[in-house]
Amino acid sequence: MNSTRPSPRTVPREPPPAGPVIPRRQQVNSILLLASCLLAIGFFVLQQRIRHGRLIDIDDALRKELTLTVDLNSASAAELGSLPGIGPRLARDIVADRNSRGPFGAVDELLRVPGIGEIKLAALREHLVCRIQLTGSAVPDPVH
């Protein structure tokens, strides 16, 4: 006679109950760390608002224009070329004039360079200074 009872080996086992992938303690620590980071970011934003009155959107920020000032007697052609209305060719002409005729005594002497007129000089005046540099022979030797 065959018995209808299944043998103990053929009984399917139930899988163990699924537990959390990350242990409970690590979950709590992760949540606390995330909450503290969010709190710190919120505190920073609030502090910036209080200090500066409001947050500034970078696209709405006022654009500040910087005024570049260049010394006619020491500026390179690249520095002169960065001024408005002076291109690379005119900058080279200014340096060539300075090298052949000597340093400029005043900003108005820039008119001696071909290509510089009264209108261009008036537009450049706020960007130019003229410092006279003494050569080594004109400077007295210090007494020791």
pLDDT digits (tens, 9 = 90+) for 39-70: 999 988 888 777 666 655 666 555 656 677 88
CA 136-138-140 angle, to 5 degrees, is 85
pLDDT the model gives residue 131: 83
3-class SS of residue 128: strand
Residue 76 is given by DSSP the state -
pLDDT in tens, 75-134: 999 999 988 888 999 999 999 999 999 999 899 999 999 999 999 999 888 889 888 765
Q: Tally the residues of the chain.
A: 144
* C-beta atoms surrounding 48 within 10 Å: 13
pLDDT confidence band for 14 (50 / 70 / 90): confident
pLDDT the model gives residue 84: 86
What global pTM score does this model have? 0.49
